[in-house]
A and B are shown apart, each in its own frame.
Chain A
Amino acid sequence: MEIPYSVKANPVTGIPNGKFGIWLFLASEVMLFGALFSSYVLLRVGADVWPHGRDVGLSIPLATLNTMVLIASSVTMVMAWASLKMDQFKKFRLYLGLTILLAFGFLVVKYFEYTAKFHHEIYPSTSTFFAIYFTLTGLHGLHVIGGIIVNSYLWGPGAKVWRSEPDRFANRIEYAGLYWHFVDLVWIFLFPVLYLL
């Protein structure tokens, strides 16, 4: 049994099922992070004092580096998709591999940031600021890990589909890319909110 429009676009909406599905998923993710941002605003407005990230030991250089890493990974991700579209499978593998490596790089930097905090005996329970800091960055980190898993699958065993059904595979890369760019987008907001303000 064949599900209609699982690869080809529906003539009315102009998109295949998967693309609609991933955007709906991202909409729900907006609400998930939106609720946390809302909590952040409510807690900050209600607090007597709210510390600056840099005054309580958050490292702006490291976070700036991480921002750059994540932006770069977003570019390599979209380049991977473009390479597939140009029928250059080897280049695609290279770019997707780079994306995965950059994502690991992001996590390594995050690991150093976290351990530095723990070293100074700073935990989520230390203050409301650190509670929201660890929760937001932790949840974002989980999303990065999710992206690594998906991308690694598509880089390795999942890439077999390319030979049998190139269109389906290109779609999958596009969807994985949409998710990955969203993870980048969340960080673009997390960075100023937690570190700079």
Chain B
Amino acid sequence: MSADSAEEIRKHVKVYITVFAALAALTIITVGISYLHLPAFWAITFALLVATVKGSLVACYFMHLISERAIIFWVLIVCLIFFAHLLLLPVATSSHY
């Protein structure tokens, strides 16, 4: 990012403001949905979906992941694979089949 010109950064700033607005809107949406008392499955799906979108916005734009170098993606991919194992296998193991 260090080679960016001031002009470039100004464009960035506009993106940051837009992302902020989107994050605020999504927060309100997710809180609103929670008051609808949907069935558990849909409530969880919606809430996690919204959280994932919000998280991706933060990661992509605030953390500049969208224009990041390949090496960082490799680290994150390895990390996410292990994270998935950590999240899923213990629960799977506690089922009795």
Do A and B contact each other directly (Cβ–Cβ < 8 Å)?
Answer: yes
Q: What is the predominant secondary structure among interface residues of chain B facing chain A?
A: helix
A14 CB–B CB distance under 8 Å: yes
Asked if residues A167 and B2 are in contact (CB atoms below 8 Å), the reply is yes
Query: How many of chain A's residues touch chain B, expressed as a range?
Result: 35 or more
Asked if residues B58 and A185 are in contact (CB atoms below 8 Å), the reply is yes
Asked if residues A184 and B58 are in contact (CB atoms below 8 Å), the reply is yes
* Number of interchain pairs (Cβ within 8 Å): 125
Asked if residues A86 and B90 are in contact (CB atoms below 8 Å), the reply is no
A154 CB–B CB distance under 8 Å: no
Given contacts A45-B91, A167-B2, contact A192 B51 (CB under 8 A): yes
Closest chain-A Cβ to B22's Cβ sits at a distance in Å of: 10
Closest chain-B Cβ to A175's Cβ sits at a distance in Å of: 11
A96 CB–B CB distance under 8 Å: no
Asked if residues A74 and B90 are in contact (CB atoms below 8 Å), the reply is no
6 further A-B contacts with Cβ under 8 Å, apart from A41-B91, A75-B62, A191-B51, are A14-B71, A34-B87, A38-B86, A64-B28, A189-B55, A196-B43
Nearest 9 Cβ contacts at the A-B interface: A192-B47, A27-B79, A196-B34, A14-B69, A181-B62, A34-B83, A75-B20, A13-B71, A86-B6
